[in-house]
Amino acid sequence: MIHATGIIAEYNPFHNGHLYQLREAQRLTEQPIVVVMSASFMQRGEPACLSKWLRARLAVENGAALVLELPTAFSLRSAQFFASGGVQLLAATGSVNTLSCGVESPELDFGALAQRITSDAAQGRIRSLLSQGKSYAAACAAVLSEAQQEAGVTAMQASSNEGKAFAGLTKPNDILALEYAKALQATDIKPLFIERRGDGYNDREISGTMSSATAIRQALNNSNDGWQQAVPASVRQALLDNAPGYDAALLWQLLRYKLRLMSVDAIADACQCSEGLENLLKDAAACPSFAEALQLCTSKRYTTSRIRRLFMQLLLDVPRWRWEDNAPAYLRVLAFNDTGRQLLKQMKATASLPIITGLYRNWPQRLQHLQLRQQQIYSQQLLLELRATELWSLLQLNPSLNRSGNDFLTSPAYVKQP
């Protein structure tokens, strides 16, 4: 039996910080790495800078053994469902026993925090705060802060790791790690928290060899070559060769057309908006640019990432209930090496979900062994994925990527190990 360590990532693009986490996880566990990776759209609501197959291949070239796709039904949703979908996929392999998470505060007891935040009392309080207009992240932070006060612990007095967390769980990777810890409660997978190195997740300037993906993308957009020091050599070459990025003007024209045609009720029925947010999204149709539309809709209550996700959900044009799946329906392979091939052979016996290694136009005929409800969920998630790939392809600046049918025409990348 081959045991593996999982990583849930976006690699948009893969950079030196990701390389550090991957190598450190390998060093600490002495196990191959299985990555679950967002496909065409990121959790921030943006198209990926490179295709999912190329990003997956680059991850394998830099040490991963196997890369699986995180369906758009989970990658284009809040951190809670992004984390839950990724954890469930890793558990479904039957081979992963550890999840490596990059965090800003490795001293925190995320397991204890997860238990506290998932209690009935805490969940009830979160629902109450959400109804008052707080964001989910703000509601969770408030519940932890209230728990601190009830325990009579101040930020200055806190001596336990859990007590320190009550002072404010605000950093992006720490918040995501808490969501991973919550999702892991339903599995036998153990967490491995590794301190994030280099610049912060949201830093926008290149400051060395350990810069954020946000800073790298911005440097690429601004033709600033400083990004080259922040990525491995293979990623640097891929970014130089593939004209990364999408046509933002085209994206806005497509979205603006969609918003003009849709009624407020139709918007509410097509994306995960709430509390009348559909009215604000409709008003955005009058904005001359995507940036101004985001500015109009963003507030303390509605983050820019959430607004972006809602806009992308509208463009993908499926009913709202398609965005409310609680569990992935398949394991789709994007890239692998020789060790990954061994894992895939093992997964034929251990996996609890169907494994997709190639997608063919007659794929519905291959579902006959599944129960009807399983067939329906499988088909719905996969059809949404096809739409996401088509939209991503249409938006690419590189004309060679604009072709239709990439999901059928592109095979998983195999990287031969030395």
In this predicted model, what pLDDT tens digit does every residue of 324-339 receive, in sequence order? Answer: 999 999 999 999 999 9
177 and 103 Cβ atoms separated by less than 8 Å = yes
Distance of CA 274 to the CA centre of its chain: 22
Residue 200 confidence (pLDDT) above 70? no
Percent of the chain scored above 90 by pLDDT?
A: 66
Spans of all domains in the chain:
4-104+194-245+327-414, 113-170, 248-323
- Mean pLDDT estimate for the chain: 88
Quote the pLDDT of residue 379. Answer: 86
Q: Which residue has the higher pLDDT, 183 or 358?
A: 183
Residue 176 has pLDDT above 80, yes or no: yes
Q: Could you read off the pLDDT of 266-296 as tens digits, one per residue?
A: 999 999 998 889 999 999 999 999 999 999 9
The residue type found at 81 is F
Alpha helices in 351-414 (DSSP H): 372-395, 406-409
Residue 153 has pLDDT above 60, yes or no: no
pLDDT band at 361 (very low <50, low <70, confident <90, very high): low
> Strand ranges (DSSP E) for 179-261?
190-195
| Of the candidate ranges 18-32, 59-73, 372-386, the one whose mean pLDDT is the lowest | 372-386
Ranking 21-25, 117-121, 162-166, 169-173 by mean pLDDT, the lowest is: 162-166
Separate counts of helices (H) and strands (E) for the chain:
19, 8
Q: Which of 198 and 355 is assigned the larger pLDDT?
A: 355
Kindly report the backbone phi and psi dihedral angles of residue 4, in degrees, each rounded to the nearest multiple of 5, phi listed first: -130, 160
Percentage of the residues of the chain whose pLDDT score is greater than 70: 89
For residues 235 and 50, give the distance between their C-alpha atoms in angstroms, rounded to a whole number: 10
Statement: residue 250 has pLDDT above 90: yes
Give the Cα separation of 288 and 131 in Å (integer): 32
**How confident is the model over 306-321, as a mean pLDDT?**
96
Query: For 28-66, how does the pLDDT look when each residue is reduced to its tens digit (9 = 90+)?
Result: 999 999 999 999 999 999 999 999 999 999 999 999 999
Give the pLDDT band (50/70/90) at residue 167.
very low
DSSP string, 301-318: SS-HHHHHHHHHHHHHT-
Residue 164: pLDDT band (50, 70, 90) is: very low
- Mind giving me the DSSP string for 58-71? HHHHTT-SEEEEE-
For residue 310, the model assigns a pLDDT of 97
Model pLDDT, residue 206: 76
